[in-house]
């Protein structure tokens, strides 16, 4: 999108002015939408503003700043999180389990302060968000650092991930902004976002997050910020850390000030006089929690005056002037009428309890996850059991325990299944795994994922055969396994929406070209559990043909470097599946003929394995790996006693630590290039 700018002015100055206007407008509308829930413009109008800003910044890249709304999207993946020490510790809160304990908390404060029982303390009461505590640092109004609570004294640097939170300003607005503002907050996911993430995980065969808090924590601590950016995290700010350039005398005053600067503050925060008003508000919040779009698990009560807070002081792990008043769990009793089997996109078989419908907090529950057969055995759950179930924002509530005292003797135990309920393939349980899996290439729930993986750039590299194309192939009933890719015709592709003659021809040419891909790509593309690119390459080099890999015994497989029993068993199980062999045979009959590029014999690195950790400055990982392989060596993903060298770049992580523990030779990037006589690489 090339924008035309007025000709009677310096284009850069005009662009800079417009960029400033657009950033102000977008942040204003972000606040209205994400914080105040009162948008003034449509999504389309917002998108127009955002696209205009993106286009201007593309024309004038030197005008891009870290505070621009366009820079919220995730950056490149990190090797690990850096540690950050908190200038003031992020303490935990003392819990009170019921109203009696909350009154006891109030009495203790009065005793410490020398107040009479009938005297009242001013409190600020806030919903206790079930999320992840973080600390934000604004320097001269600009967000510079965000870190997790960690152990209270040292946390992890999650700045790049926190920047993706739309409701959080990257730059504060208004007057009298302090030169340094440390503010504590809670990162969380709305129930709607949590449910969507879990649906995606279940469809992919991954175990769902147990609750919104785990989902928020998992999203915030992603090493790949692009994944975090896809998950709509939210935040409420609630407490100060170190502040320079401003003075606050109360919790109410602090919250009012930061809200004025654009930081999100929970609108349900209330100031009350005395403990009885606090308890009345606690009861209100307990009712209100059912209609909130996010999870709260209690109410936080704080002494409002900062002077009184200072007088009360802190214990080693918690302040004396605050308490978390917890809500009781939401549970109900019902009966398991049946146990159904769900097959995920990666073949994981999940048992799901079909329940006699029961209402919990206004929601009718008819299903509950049983997770896996280890869980069923541990809790001794049977069909017909009366059970206690609990809902904590989960998509599918969980069974807490079986009420064994109510058994009649008619209850039935459910043994682990032996065959897939969708395709009939024999199920397997890999060594050291809890999950029971279907590894069939013809299993309907897995077909979409298996075809996309097979065609991906790192596997068979079939250009154009991406998500949308595969979706159309499936919806038209043109494919039922990866083998069907090689029977497609031009007429099949012409049935697609917006498919032209040239594009259809290109797709067919790409499919035809893939028939002669390297053997390791074909093996990797099959999607065998635990077989990544490096293992696929090792198999191709060791056996030289697909036929020999299919026939390989456990002993032969485990003799290969970095292939242990778990991986070997997974490979054997895959090739012992008759349906899988039939799919492979169909591909071979369609002309698929994987080739083997033999490793250089007699190279200076023959027999030497390398592990890379951290960020390299002069090489991409792909280029470094190619250099090793061209010299006869190999690149593996983990450090073991058999590893030859570990090449450590910037911010190297746990692999470097393990290498030191095992006494493995460690090379810098420069030393690695010297070893290969490649010092001149730019």
Look at residues 371, 379, 339, 378 and name the one whose alpha carbon lies nearest to residue 355.
Answer: 339
Contacts of 370 (CB under 8 A, 6+ apart): 339, 350, 351, 352, 353, 376, 381, 399
Identify whether the C-beta of residue 50 lies closer than 8 Å to the C-beta of residue 25: no
Look at residues 59, 55, 62 and name the one whose alpha carbon lies nearest to residue 22.
Answer: 55
The residue from 111, 128, 597, 641 that is catalytic is 128
Q: How many CB atoms lie within 10 A of CB 632?
A: 16
Identify whether the C-beta of residue 265 lies closer than 8 Å to the C-beta of residue 238: yes
Which stretches does DSSP call E strand in 107-251? 122-129, 132-139, 142-148, 154-156, 180-189, 233-244
Per-residue confidence (pLDDT) for residue 74, from 0 to 100? 43
Identify whether the C-beta of residue 215 lies closer than 8 Å to the C-beta of residue 197: yes
- Measure CA 497 to chain center: 33
Long-range contacts of 499-502 (CB under 8 A, 24+ apart): none
Q: What global pTM score does this model have? A: 0.53
Backbone phi, then psi, for 322, in 5-degree steps?
Answer: -145, 155
What's the rounded Cα separation, in Å, for the pair 289 and 266?
A: 13
What is the mean pLDDT for each group of 10 consecutive residues in the chain (682 residues)?
54 86 83 61 73 85 80 53 88 88 95 95 95 94 92 87 90 91 95 85 69 84 79 94 95 96 96 97 92 91 97 89 89 94 85 90 80 90 94 68 94 92 87 84 87 91 89 90 94 87 91 94 92 89 91 91 87 92 95 79 78 84 81 82 88 82 90 74 41
Look at residues 119, 93, 44 and name the one whose alpha carbon lies nearest to residue 314.
Answer: 93
Dihedral sign for Cα 527, 532, 536, 542, please.
negative
Burial of 98 (0-12, 13-18, 19+ CB in 10 A): exposed
Per-residue confidence (pLDDT) for residue 206, from 0 to 100? 67
Q: Crossing angle for the helix pair 275-288 and 99-113, nearest 10 degrees? A: 150
Look at residues 172, 147, 161 and name the one whose alpha carbon lies nearest to residue 263.
Answer: 172
Indicate the fold that domain 444-589 takes in CATH. Answer: DNA polymerase; domain 1 (1.10.150)
What's the rounded Cα separation, in Å, for the pair 170 and 154?
A: 23
Per-residue confidence (pLDDT) for residue 36, from 0 to 100? 56
Helix (H, G, I), strand (E, B) or coil at 271: strand
Identify whether the C-beta of residue 292 lies closer than 8 Å to the C-beta of residue 310: no
Q: How many CB atoms lie within 10 A of CB 34?
A: 17
- Rounded to 10 degrees, the C-alpha dihedral 527/530/534/535 comes to -90
What's the rounded Cα separation, in Å, for the pair 566 and 557?
A: 11
Give me the residue spans of the domains in the chain. 11-72, 94-326, 331-406, 444-589, 609-675
Backbone phi, then psi, for 83, in 5-degree steps?
Answer: -85, 145
Degrees to nearest 5, angle at CA 329 with 328 and 331: 130
What's the rounded Cα separation, in Å, for the pair 507 and 512?
A: 9
Helix (H, G, I), strand (E, B) or coil at 436: strand
What's the rounded Cα separation, in Å, for the pair 532 and 62?
A: 40
Identify whether the C-beta of residue 389 lies closer than 8 Å to the C-beta of residue 332: yes
Per-residue confidence (pLDDT) for residue 409, from 0 to 100? 93
Per-residue confidence (pLDDT) for residue 673, from 0 to 100? 87
Element (H, E) at 655: helix 654-662
Burial of 407 (0-12, 13-18, 19+ CB in 10 A): middle
CATH number of 94-326: 3.30.470.30
What six digits make up the tokens of 420? 């897939």
CATH number of 609-675: 3.40.50.10190
Which stretches does DSSP call E strand in 548-667? 609-613, 634-635, 645-648, 665-667
Helix (H, G, I), strand (E, B) or coil at 364: strand
Tell me whether residue 128 is one of the annotated catalytic residues: yes
Domain 331-406, CATH among 3.30.1490.100, 2.40.50.140, 3.30.1360.120, 2.60.40.10: 2.40.50.140
- Which superfamily is assigned to 11-72 in CATH? Helix hairpin bin (1.10.287.610)
């Amino acid at each position: 999108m090339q924008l035309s700018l007025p000709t009677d002015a310096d284009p850069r100055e005009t662009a800079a002015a417009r960029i400033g206007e657009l950033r102000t407008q977008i942040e204003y509308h972000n606040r209205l939408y994400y914080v105040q829930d009162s948008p003034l413009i449509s999504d389309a109008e917002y998108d127009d503003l955002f696209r205009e800003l993106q286009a201007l910044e593309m024309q004038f890249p030197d005008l891009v700043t870290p505070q621009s709304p366009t820079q919220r999207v995730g950056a490149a993946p990190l090797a690990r999180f850096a540690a950050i020490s908190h200038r003031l510790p992020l303490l935990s809160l003392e819990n009170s389990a019921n109203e009696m304990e909350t009154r006891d908390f109030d009495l203790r404060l009065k005793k410490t302060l020398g107040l009479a029982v009938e005297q009242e303390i001013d409190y600020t009461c806030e919903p206790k968000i079930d999320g992840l505590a973080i600390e934000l640092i604004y320097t001269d109004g600009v967000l510079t650092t965000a870190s997790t609570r960690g152990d209270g004294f040292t946390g992890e640097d999650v700045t790049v991930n926190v920047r993706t939170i739309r409701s959080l300003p990257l730059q504060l607005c208004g007057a009298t902004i302090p030169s340094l503002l440390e503010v504590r907050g809670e990162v969380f996911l709305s129930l709607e976002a949590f449910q969507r993430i879990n649906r995606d995980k279940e469809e992919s065969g991954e175990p769902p997050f147990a609750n919104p808090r785990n989902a928020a924590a998992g999203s915030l601590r992603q090493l790949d910020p692009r994944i975090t950016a896809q998950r709509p995290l939210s935040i409420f700010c609630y407490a100060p850390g170190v502040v320079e350039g401003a003075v606050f005398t109360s919790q109410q005053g602090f919250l009012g000030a930061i809200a004025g600067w654009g930081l999100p503050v929970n609108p349900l925060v209330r100031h009350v006089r005395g403990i009885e008003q606090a308890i009345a508000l606690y009861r209100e919040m307990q009712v209100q929690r059912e209609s909130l779009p996010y999870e709260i698990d209690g109410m936080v009560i704080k002494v409002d005056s900062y002077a009184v807070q200072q007088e009360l002081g802190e214990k080693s792990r918690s302040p004396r002037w605050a308490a978390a008043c917890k809500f009781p769990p939401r549970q109900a009793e019902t009966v398991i009428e049946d146990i159904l089997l769900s097959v995920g996109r990666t073949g994981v078989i999940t048992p799901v309890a079909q329940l006699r419908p029961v209402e919990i907090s206004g929601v009718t529950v008819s299903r509950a996850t049983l997770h896996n057969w280890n869980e069923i055995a541990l809790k001794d759950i049977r069909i017909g059991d009366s059970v206690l179930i609990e809902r904590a924002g989960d998509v599918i509530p969980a069974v807490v325990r079986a009420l064994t005292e109510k058994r009649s003797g008619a209850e039935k135990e459910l043994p682990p299944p032996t065959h897939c309920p969708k395709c009939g393939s024999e199920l397997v349980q890999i060594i050291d795994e809890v999950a029971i899996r279907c590894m069939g290439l013809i299993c309907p729930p897995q077909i979409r994922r298996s075809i996309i993986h097979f065609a991906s750039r790192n596997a068979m590299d079939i250009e154009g055969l991406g998500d949308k194309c595969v979706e159309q192939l499936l919806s038209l009933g043109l494919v039922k396994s990866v083998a069907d890719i090689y029977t497609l015709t031009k007429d099949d592709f012409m049935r697609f929406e917006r498919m032209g003659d040239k594009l259809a021809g290109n797709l067919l040419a790409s499919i035809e070209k893939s028939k002669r891909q390297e053997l390791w790509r074909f093996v990797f593309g099959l999607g065998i559990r635990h077989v990544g690119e490096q293992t696929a390459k090792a198999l191709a080099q060791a056996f030289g043909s697909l036929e020999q890999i299919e026939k390989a015994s456990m002993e032969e497989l485990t003799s290969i470097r970095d292939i242990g029993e778990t991986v070997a068993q997974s490979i054997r199980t895959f090739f012992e599946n008759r349906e899988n062999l039939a799919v492979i045979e169909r591909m071979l009959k369609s002309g698929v003929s994987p080739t083997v590029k033999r490793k250089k014999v007699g190279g200076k690195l023959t027999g030497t394995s390398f592990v890379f950790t951290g960020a390299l400055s002069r090489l991409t990982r792909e280029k470094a790996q190619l250099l090793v392989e061209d010299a006869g060596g190999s690149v593996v993903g983990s450090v073991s006693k058999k590893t030859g060298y570990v090449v450590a770049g910037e911010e190297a992580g746990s692999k470097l630590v393990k290498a030191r523990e095992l006494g493995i030779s460690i090379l810098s990037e420069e030393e690695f290039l010297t070893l290969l006589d490649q010092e001149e690489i730019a």
